[in-house]
Amino acid sequence: TSVFQGRSLLAEKDFTRSELEYLIDFSIHLKDLKKRNIPHRYLEGKNIALLFEKTSTRTRAAFTTAAVDLGAHPEYLGANDIQLGKKETTEDTAKVLGSMFDGIEFRGFSQKMVEELAEFSGVPVWNGLTDEWHPTQMIADFMTIKENFGSLENITLVYVGDGRNNMANSLLVTGAILGVNVRICAPEALFPEQEVIDYANKFAAESGAELMITDNVDEGVKGANVLYTDVWVSMGEEDKFEERVNMLQPYQLNMDMINKTGNQDTDNLIVLHCLPAFHDTNTEYGKMVEEQFGVKEMEITDEVFRSKYGRQFEEAENRMHSIKAIMAATLGNLFIPRT
């Protein structure tokens, strides 16, 4: 058995630098196989449950297509389709699903719930996003960075905006493990929680990553190779709209911020966003925000989104390749030697 066999991916901190690097490289390999139409059916005959308490486009689509390409059967179980959280405990649901499915993806609110699913199901559980972490996104993100720059060495990633959400947490900790310099540039009220900073500092001491948490945009974005942002209002926090719009305007990823990095070529600067992105008002949600708050663009301007720096759609595609790697490594019959 390999070092991955039977393991769950619940939070990045549970994986070593070489394990995360392996998953990134395996994702790049599987992407190449896919592009060349070479079969990679490592999960032939397996059944995968996809539990979604929150909505999703990329994560759901990526798990579904990845499972099918790997030869597995994915079954979508939405919040309103099953008893979990309403009529049944997580423990009971986990035991039942674990007896029928070979692996379980869970997206929802509580990190505790995804951990309980892993504890009681007895099968690998993959965290498709909780309020605290978004680990499958991390493999895609650092894969995209590696594809663009050729390596993860001497890269400075600056995350601007809501510094206290799942994406900020995951980027800070994962970058620290991988030796990528990470800066969180956010208003002080939205700095990451101390527990997350403590994890990150511990890993950075081992990897040599340089970390910075600052509310100063000029200082924060100077020298950035990756400018990263996420929505100002995450799923489940919709009541915080007004507060966030007022607080986060100075942290909008716009051309002025691009100029402040001092980098101009895509050789040394790219823009990432996990998506969905609020860059224009051409959605139902966007119209609501424009009417209520008079704001046309939120965390990223349409100009930057559509600029040569924007790599968010490559990043989105990479969700599929990386989720394949995660599922195949933990559930497939692969031999991955210990390093």
**Least distance between ligand NVA and beta carbon 130 (Å):** 9
Q: CB 166 → ligand NVA: shortest distance, Å?
A: 5
Q: At residue 314, what are phi and psi to the nearest 5 degrees?
A: -65, -45
Q: Is 231 in the site for ligand NVA (CB under 6 A)?
A: yes
Nearer to ligand CP, 137 or 181 (CB): 137
Helices and strands: H and E segment counts in the chain: 13, 9
- Is 299 a residue that touches ligand NVA (CB under 6 A)? no
Nearest CA to 137 out of 47, 235, 63 is that of: 63
Burial degree of 239 (CB within 10 A; 0-12, 13-18, 19+): exposed
Position 127 contacts ligand NVA (CB under 6 A) = no
Strands 103-107 and 125-127: parallel
Q: Which is nearer to ligand CP, 59 or 301 (CB)?
A: 59
Asked if 190 touches ligand NVA (CB under 6 A), the answer is: no
Q: Could you give the CA distance from residue 198 to residue 204 in angstroms, rounded to a whole number?
A: 10
Stretch of 162-170, 175-183, 213-221, 294-302 lying at the interface with ligand NVA (CB under 6 A): 162-170
CB 185 within 8 A of CB 160: yes
Closest CA to 232 of 213, 251, 256: 251
Q: Given candidates 43, 104, 138, 235, which one binds ligand NVA under the rule CB under 6 A?
A: 235
Which amino acid belongs to residue 90?
A: T
Question: Which residues, at least 6 apart from 6, have a Cβ–Cβ distance to it below 8 Å?
Answer: 124, 330, 331
274 near ligand NVA, judged by CB under 6 A: yes
Q: How far is the CB of 146 from ligand CP (least distance, A)?
A: 18
- Pairing outcome for strands 211-214 and 226-229: unpaired
Count the Cβ atoms, other than its own, within 10 Å of residue 14.
11
Name the binder of 57 from ligand CP, ligand NVA, none, CB < 5-8 A by kind: ligand CP
Closest-CB residue for ligand NVA? 234
234 binds, among ligand CP, ligand NVA, none (CB under 5 to 8 A by kind): ligand NVA
Give me the least distance between CB of 206 and ligand CP, in Å please: 28
Among 8, 93, 229, 234, interactor with ligand NVA by CB under 6 A: 234
Please, which residue, 51 or 129, has the CB nearer to ligand CP? 129
The annotated binding site for L-ornithine is made up of: 166, 230, 234-235
In the complex with ligand NVA, the residue whose CB is nearer, 190 or 274, is 274
- Take residue 264 and report the two structure tokens written for it: 């101009």
- In order of 112, 139, 156, 167, 228, the CA distances from 132 in angstroms are 10, 16, 23, 8, 18
**230 interacts with ligand NVA by CB under 6 A:** yes
**CB of 137 or CB of 261, closer to ligand CP:** 137
What is the nearest approach in angstroms of ligand CP to the Cβ of residue 187? 23
Query: Which residues are part of a known binding site for carbamoyl phosphate?
Result: 56-59, 83, 107, 134-137, 274-275, 319
Amino acid making up residue 224: A
* Chain contacts with ligand CP (rule: CB under 6 A): 56-59, 129, 137, 274-276
Residues belonging to the active site: 107, 134, 137, 230, 274, 319
User: CB-wise, 10 or 331, nearer to ligand NVA?
Assistant: 10
* Cα–Cα distance for residue pair 112/293, rounded to 1 Å: 35
Binding site per annotation, positions: 56-59, 83, 107, 134-137, 166, 230, 234-235, 274-275, 319
**Cβ 160 to ligand NVA, closest distance in Å?**
13
Query: CA 69, 70, 75, 79: dihedral to nearest 10 degrees?
Result: -90
* Beta partners for residue 51, in sequence order: 77, 106
Q: Where do contacts with ligand NVA occur on this chain (CB under 6 A)? A: 129, 165-167, 230-231, 234-235, 274
